[in-house]
Chains A and B, each alone.
Chain A
């Protein structure tokens, strides 16, 4: 199948009237933005012609750096450079603590349970970090397309749970993007390949990215893309291939497994380069320090075999869930950079008994598909011939029942949107309240499932046990986001919750971020600029104040401290006025006099980090 040119008779003469919408692939390693231009969906390049934006954000005291330069600075400035933030999205502080040894960041708890990364620019939530990546892509799109965007389709792994989806949507909002839809990555890839309206039949999308693996089975019928089943492994990706090679190097070279972060990073970079070289070469020389050896493709294949096998197992499960047989699958589409590995292609071909499709760049195919869907959703095609995507929920949704068990209300692979109700009753005489605990997962025990939310239905009239009838309704919208309502049928007492997952942000946190991100700034340009200058100044003041409280005594002598205090007072004074230029100048001055202090603090934290932590697995 080839990517079809979308010709739009009767619409093309006025391209300027098109409503601008983009597709964004917010990836673990790399991010892209794509749009429909002259009827063709393509990724948008930056000023240097690069379409891929590494998902790396480095925080400086006074600015934020996103992309390749930030990625390159990661080993020099690990505490303020955030990589692979996607892995932290929608995760709680406790989840992240489990990864603790592998992450170089210092986490601080927010108002909610979401982890904040302590940077020189202040604490940053994963949502904010993602928003910073999205802002760059939004800017790129608006510059390239020459106008403001109506909205964007943001892709997420099909296997993302409710918390991860909600976090992604929050990030987009924070970046000032109107989210037309959260779209599952495999579905987006299917759109890119299958836009050709003649494509019919069953298609498998094998999506092996840097950190996650997704498999989806779809039925294509006359422009309708019906997802039959989706599955995957949220902890399986190309990064694991790098780790396998790195492990091989450690053994072969007789290195200590307990390497410092810098050495770890270097090892992984070498491993990643070897992996990439083996896509075309039969053998590659790997070296580390004075040690070097040949890694053959055969040996590499053997190293990754367990991971490839795991992915195929997920494929078989998805096929079973679809109620079809492997032979029924008419086409297999490859998505994600890791599908460039020859062994992966070969194994997938063997499993499905056919050569997988690889015509569209596996790094770009998701963004390309998302852009096509964004264009449709923005209302650019209304001739009835557009495609329709019918997606499913990847994981079962349910409630906690007696004995710590999870009762499924909506099983996995149910087509969305969906609404379903289940009735419960009280178990004690005179019980007037009931705790509703919403869960997501496939396991029986609630401790093995993800807790999404808890809320209480109060005011149930006192009755004997079992007499009250409480109807709990689950509703999942087209973005895969859940809301839950509970109602006592006799009295009509109600309680409901838009599942703001336990790992989401509180409204207070969101309000503050929105304020920080200038979304509500007035259209008046001068006022807007002034606000930005004031906010910048405020941010710097807070950062310096915090730093002084933490390390001022230790790292500054009296004279240095006095200079900083004076410049701070001056800035605080100017901020009360409306002289934007003066505020800007004074902000720079304060930033300048605190440079040395910031450098000393950085050294300290880096030293502390190198002493106690392990950089294992964080690198891409």
Chain B
């Protein structure tokens, strides 16, 4: 990761449980200090520095704000190699994935907007539960492998959320 740890940047202890409001407030304070708008009439060197610092601040904020990205970052901090695409042995979840996808396809075929809204709510509940499980699991250093499995599940649900949004867009035509 090179630069200072994302958590340290926000003066936070590395942890999955985060107060998102507090994170957002800290982000705004920090952005005020380093945003290039602050250096519009400064030297070229300072402007470049502001650009770089703002970019890393934004990257850190985006990472910490999103539960799957935060989980992944925590695992990577612990030194785990985490290729983006892998086949993880998680047969239970594989079944569930297929179910989710099938449902989504049905909703698309039936152009069922109300059904999509229900699906979204269920997805949100599943995400919240998963976040909770990861948080609990992360507190126990012996469960790193399970934590990684949960992180992959979070990534999948995140992708699914994006697909639901695309479906909504198509149905809106």
Contacts and interface: CB of A to CB of B under 8 A. Distances in A.
A316 B31 CA distance: 29
Contacts of A401: none
A417 B165 contact: no
Contacts of B173: 313
B37 A388 contact: yes
A161 B52 CA distance: 22
Contacts of A384: 32
A456 interface: no
B41 A150 contact: yes
A472 interface: no
Contacts of B31: 224, 388, 390
Interface string A459-475: 00000000000000001
Contacts of A224: 28, 31-32
Contacts of B54: 417, 478
B168 A379 contact: no
Contact of B41 (A373, A377, A415): A377
B40 A181 contact: yes
For chain B, the bracket of interface size reads: 20 to 34
A183 to B, nearest CB: 10
Contacts of A181: 37, 40
B84 to A, nearest CB: 10
Contact of B40 (A317, A379, A390): A379
Which DSSP category, helix, strand, loop or mixed, fits chain A's interface? mixed
Interface in A386-409: 388-390
B62 interface: yes
A95 interface: no
Contacts of B51: 417, 475, 477-478
A290 B48 CA distance: 65
B28 A221 contact: yes
Interface in A418-434: 418-420
B172 interface: yes
A363 to B, nearest CB: 26
A417 B40 contact: no
Contacts of A19: 41
Category for how many chain A residues contact B: 20 to 34
A376 interface: yes
B59 interface: yes
A151 B37 CA distance: 13
A314 to B, nearest CB: 10
Interface string B32-68: 1001110011000000000110111011011000000
A224 B31 CA distance: 9
Nearest to A388: B32
A320 interface: yes
A478 B52 CA distance: 11
A317 B172 contact: yes
A221 B169 CA distance: 29
A552 interface: no
A180 B59 contact: no
A419 B59 contact: yes
Contacts of B59: 418-420
A270 interface: no
7 contacts: A224-B31, A313-B172, A320-B165, A321-B165, A417-B36, A478-B35, A478-B54
Q: Which 3 A-B pairs rank lowest in CB-CB distance, beginning with the nearest?
A: A377-B40, A419-B55, A478-B36
Interface of B: 24, 28, 31-32, 35-37, 40-41, 51-52, 54-56, 58-59, 61-62, 165, 168-169, 172-173
